[in-house]
Structure 1
Amino acid sequence: MTETASTASPAAVHRRDRLPGKALLGLFLSGFVGILTECLPAGLLPEMAHTLHTSAALTGQTVTLYAAATAIAAIPLSRATSKWPRKNVLQLALGIVAVTNVLTAVSSDYALTLAIRFVSGLGTGLIWPLLGGYAARLAPEGRQGRAIAIALAGTPIGLAGGVPVGTWMSSLGGWQLAFYASAAVTALTMAWALATLPNLPGQSVHERFKVSQALVIPGLRTILFALAAYMIAHNILYTYISEFLTYVDMESQTGWVLFAFGVTSVLSVLVVGTHIDRHLRKLVVGSTVVFAISMLVLAVLSGVPALVYVAVAAWGFAFGSSPSLFIGAVINATREAADVAQTITITVFSSSIALGGLIGGLLIADLGTASITWASLVLLVAAGIAVIGGKKNAFPKGA
């Protein structure tokens, strides 16, 4: 006999309401390897520059080009593969990342390495637009926000833990070992996703929204503006955190400062994930305000090392779940157009990474290192105004 809702046992109801942990772990790991692959050179610049016979500044463009490729690819590749089964797209993207990590490790030519990194960024351009929507479709009703938070948690954890671990591995066996290890983790992620993720169907042609249609949905442009200001502010300082710590005479404590950022980023994922479905607006507002206060402290009181630690820890806590918060807001605002809206969001996200690094470098060169905290603060004030003011459609009350 078919079990109905009225006769279902408590155990059966619990199973239906339970998040699919193994499948969400596969999405989490996919996001982790994407951001790890993107940012890994940031901790390996001197060693890579030596092998590639170029400067550290030029080697740093392997990060910028990767982010640019992801931004360029997110919309066209997502639309080109929108009718494909979701797991097939994810496996293709992870395969590209795994192979290009190996090729990066064996390359000793700068131009070739840039080309490989561009292709790798195209792979990640397929991964990130998938994660939020895939997680939401896997989750039971009313728990989509938590599922999205889990799936996207790989991004801050990759930033917080993956890059320092890769840097440590390079000290054991050269920078190439870090890329081989990243390729191995990506291959394991492919195996896990293959075993645990259901192969959800893509969208048929008549179901797809155009980018122009999605952009006129009330609230989406406000979310995208707030996201861009928030992420550029983050990347202006995070990209040059070593330079900033040298400026405040704390260069010997860089590892510990990044550790503080990483710990609170992970804590943010755990705390926010339990409340995101009921208090999205409050969490976005709180994240933006805490981030802004952190930048103000770093701008004004950076001469006090203890306050630098406190400000960086607060920054990590604010930033840790920000991808989940903004993607969740996009999904809530766009509903039927959520898939294409997420590709637009990933384009903005990746462009902001590239822009943050570029703007930060220009500010340091022209106005000095102190200017990057003030620039970040101005951007966060703009983001805060958009978030707080977007209470009708973008970040509605009660969301």
Structure 2
Amino acid sequence: MSMSQMSEPGRPTDVPPAEPSTASTAPPSGRERGGLPLSPLLALATAAFMAILTEALPAGVLPEMARGLSVGESAAGQTLTVYAIATGLTALPVTAATAAWRRKRLVVAAVVTFAAANTVTALSSDYLLTMVVRAAAGVAAAVVWAELVGYARRLAPPHLVGRAIAITMAGVPLALSLGIPLGTLLGGLIGWRATFVLVSVVSAGLAVWIAASVPDHPGRRSGAREPVLGALRLPGVVPVLFVVAAYVLAHNILYTYVAAFLDARGMGGARDTVLLVLGVASVAGIAVTGALVDRLLRPLTLASTAAFLLAAALLAAPGGGAALVYPAVVLWGLGWGGVSTLLQTAVTGAGGDRAQPLLVTTWNSFMAVGGAAGGVLLDAAGPGSFPWTVLALLVPVLLVVAGARRHGFPALRAPEKH
């Protein structure tokens, strides 16, 4: 998805832990107590949920939104593309421009931007205006993605960092797999515009929750810069980013135009059910990943890729109806559910904090490419080309994960770089 996502942006990921004299007065963190503080972690997970829901909701109401904007479905699909492009292109410059901001104020501002952008989307009948506010929301998402992992690492004791990341990143597959089906259902019941209004209201409530429960941290001191692009020279970073690019591209080609794919299989009326099945399977993938990622990063990443590969093979089978689509969607969800956590954990282990903006840029750039490429494939070759494209992308992913056994996806994880 965009993952999508995904994945995910001044910045606790670039900031060393605050000295006691500069940190805000906040309750003791999970790191200090030896446990995980659920309220702030769940608030951050909800921020990830809203970032992805804001981005991907058009996929669930694409035909209706296209009619409301008086454009074709492929053009309406670019509302996802422009969001992802804005996130990918602004991750590095926004990180630099907001480096001195206090962290909580930055996250709250991003969530308020989601609320405003969704409100304008709900009211607009102008395609250009809609694209502009979608781009603004994408910039806000760049902020959110770079903040999530840094906050998770600050809040968790060292032996639970992977689990804390899993909790915060759980919002990504939950939004794609549960939030979008719910949005699709609501779009049919109350209309797509009212659905966007509802998302705005939830975003406003989330801003209040974050302000009340998430600890604050100071921004980066002037001159405290890390060579972000230098992380590309670290062993393992490039293989992880390749996996991010190809996996996210494969997912978004299929997911963005899943309505068109189901229509071609005679299952257009089952769109919300199919997405719900994808969501339930993703929850199972999240649960397994969250429990095991601190010990089994490599096997889980191999299993995730293999599950999506098998799903694509089932979807590519000629004449396959519901009997093949539903098992394929289950496998797709199991693979996709934990992938944002797996790839965030892998890039942090390989490149530390300075690799996070690279992951954000890669993830969201290829979400954008997925939306655009899916539109081209839809117009040129039809929706039947989607699963074959997924197969072509995921075979190299499986080979790279299998080959990066020392760095990137090691059998035994080394301590994270800071």
TM-score (ref. length: structure 2): 0.87
Bigger radius of gyration among the two: 1
Question: Partners in 1 of 2:86 and 2:282 — Cα distance?
Answer: 26
Aligned to 1:376: 390
Equivalent of residue 364 in structure 1, options 372, 378, 392: 378
Residues in 2 aligned to 1:59 and 1:361: alpha-carbon distance in whole angstroms: 10
- Which residue of 108, 112, 130 corresponds with 2:129? 112
In structure 2, what is the Cα distance between the partners aligned to 1:14 and 1:232? Answer: 35
Query: Equivalences for 1:165-176 in 2 at 5 Å?
Result: 165-176=182-193
RMSD of Structure 2 on Structure 1 (CA):
1.8
Structure 2 partner of 1:274: 291
User: Which moves more between the two structures, 210-219 or 143-152?
Assistant: 210-219
Give the number of equivalent residue pairs.
Answer: 384
**Deviations 1:41-91, CA, capped at 9 Å, x for gaps:** 222233333333333332222111111111111111012212322111101
How far off is 1:36 after superposition? Answer: 0.6
Aligned residue in 1 for 2:4 = none
Give, in whole Å, the separation in 2 of the partners of 1:379 and 1:243: 20
Give the structure 2 partner of residue 62 of structure 1: 79
Mapped to 1, the partners of 2:59 and 2:137 lie a distance apart of 16
Shifted more, 76-85 versus 47-56: the winner is 47-56
- 1:7 matched residue in structure 2: none
Superposed CA deviations along residues 5-40 of structure 1, whole A, max 9, x for unmatched, are xxxxxxxx9982211101101100100110011111
Unaligned runs of 5+ in 1: 1-12
Residue 234 of structure 2 aligns to a residue in which SS?
Answer: coil
- 1:33-112, aligned counterparts within 5 Å? 33-112=50-129
Residue 289 and residue 172 in structure 1: after superposition, are their counterparts in 2 closer, same or farther (change >3 A)? Answer: closer
TM-score when normalising by structure 1: 0.91
Residue type of the partner of 2:250? A
Cα offsets for 1:207-263 (capped at 9, x unmatched)? 432232122121111100011111111111112222222333333333222211110
Amino acid at match of 1:92: A
Name which of 230, 248, 254 aligns with 2:247: 230
Q: Are residues 1:334 and 2:351 paired?
A: yes
Structure 1 Cα separation of the partners of residues 253 and 77 of structure 2: 14
Gaps of 5+ in 2: 1-29, 414-418
Query: Residue in 2 aligned with 1:9?
Result: none
Task: Name the counterpart of 2:40.
Answer: 23
Q: Which has the higher contact order (CA 8 A, sep 6+)?
A: 2
Asked if the contact 1:160–1:265 (Cα under 8 Å) also holds between the matched residues in 2, the reply is yes
Runs of 4 or more off by more than 4 Å in structure 1? none
Q: Find the counterpart in structure 2 of residue 136 from structure 1.
A: 153
Residues 315-366 of structure 1: per-residue CA shift (max 9 Å, x gap): 101101101110010111123xx1x311111111111111112222222333
Matched, 1:123 2:137: no
Aligned amino acid, residue 357 of structure 1: G
Q: Is this contact kept in 2: 1:250–1:305, CA < 8 A? A: yes
The one-letter code matched in structure 2 to 1:136 is: R
Partner-residue secondary structure (3-state), 1:313: helix
Partner of 2:54, secondary structure, is helix
**What's 1:214 paired with?**
231
C-alpha distance in 1 between matches for 2:332 and 2:64: 29
- For the residue of structure 2 that corresponds to 1:143, the secondary structure is helix
Identity of aligned residues (%): 41
- For residues 108 and 189 of structure 2, what CA distance do their matches in structure 1 show? 30
1:189 Cα deviation after fit: 0.9
Match of 1:316 among 321, 333, 342: 333
Distance 1:247 1:233 in 2: 19
Pairing of 1:191-270 with structure 2 (within 5 A): 191-270=208-287
Q: Would the alpha carbon gap of residues 163 and 72 (structure 1) be closer, same or farther in structure 2, given more than 3 Å must change?
A: same
Letter in 2 for 1:197: V
Equivalent AA in structure 2 for residue 326 of structure 1: L
Aligned-partner Cα distance in 2 for 1:176–1:74: 29
Secondary structure, aligned partner of 2:328:
helix
| Letter aligned with residue 174 of structure 1 | G
Say whether the 8 Å CA contact 2:102–2:219 is kept in structure 1: yes
Q: Could you say what secondary structure the match of 1:84 adopts?
A: coil
- 2:374/2:386 contact within 8 Å kept: yes
Could you list the per-position Cα deviations for residues 370-399 of structure 1 after superposition, in whole angstroms to 9, with x for gaps in the alignment?
222111111101111111111111111213
Q: For structure 1, which segment, 222-231 or 105-114, has the greater mean C-alpha deviation from structure 2 after superposition?
A: 105-114
Q: 2: distance between equivalents of 1:331 and 1:202?
A: 20
- In the alignment, the residues of structure 2 paired with residue 155 and residue 40 of structure 1 have an alpha-carbon distance, to the nearest angstrom, of 13
Q: Secondary structure at the match of 1:18?
A: coil
| More displaced 10-residue stretch of structure 1: 253-262 or 221-230 | 253-262
Residue deviations 1:255-281 (CA, integer Å, cap 9, x gap) = 222211110111111121011111111
Which whole-Å CA distance do the structure 2 matches of 1:389 and 1:312 have between them? 27
Supply the distance in 2 between the matched residues of 1:191 and 1:248 (Cα, whole angstroms): 44
1:158 shift after superposition: 0.6
2:138 aligns to what SS in structure 1?
Answer: helix
Counterpart residue number, 2:403? 389
Offset from partner CA, 1:293-325 (integer Å, 9 cap, x none): 221222136525323211110110110110111
Matched letter for residue 70 of structure 1:
T
The amino acid that maps onto 1:354 is A
Q: Is the contact between residue 184 and residue 272 of structure 2 (CA under 8 Å) also seen in structure 1?
A: no
Letter in 1 for 2:178: G
In structure 2, give the amino acid aligned to 1:358.
Answer: A
Higher helix share: 1
Give distance in 2, aligned partners of 1:290 and 1:47: 32
Report the AA paired with residue 340 of structure 2: P
Gap change, CA 1:73 and 1:15, over 3 Å in 2: closer
Q: 1: CA distance between counterparts of 2:316 and 2:188?
A: 33
